[in-house]
Homo-oligomer: A and B are copies of this chain.
Amino acid sequence: MSEDDRLDAAFSALAHPVRRAILTRLAEGKASVNTLAAPFEMSLPAVSKHIRVLENAGLLTREKDAQFRLCSLETRPLEEIVGWANRYRPIWQARFDAMDGLLDDIKETGQ
């Protein structure tokens, strides 16, 4: 799978509040599907599908433990996204610097 494909998968997996909330929960540690589903008003199959989407994007792995499927957070795709976004950092930094310069001007001229 190309980087482009991985970014597609990661970005679209993250483009849903329920899926982001699942990742937030997983930041605290492994959890079963039912545990992950509990906070939501959705049906279990719906959550199960969201989990599948996260898994396909590499943001989550599943481990079988008796009747449970323990889910773990995988951060690699997040690193990849940050890496991608950071290519634009010079631009937003430039803007910030410009604003900074403006503030300096205001200080110097007293308006």
Contacts and interface: CB of A to CB of B under 8 A. Distances in A.
Interface string A80-92: 0110111110011
A36 interface: no
Interface in A1-17: 4, 7-8, 11-12, 14-17
Interface residues of A, number: 28
Contact of A88 (B11, B73, B86): B73
Interface string A49-82: 0000000000000000000000001011011011
Given A27-B91, A82-B82, 14 more contacts: A7-B14, A7-B17, A7-B20, A8-B15, A11-B11, A11-B14, A11-B15, A12-B12, A24-B87, A27-B87, A27-B88, A75-B92, A78-B92, A79-B92
Interface of A: 4, 7-8, 11-12, 14-17, 20, 23-24, 27, 73, 75-76, 78-79, 81-82, 84-88, 91-92, 95
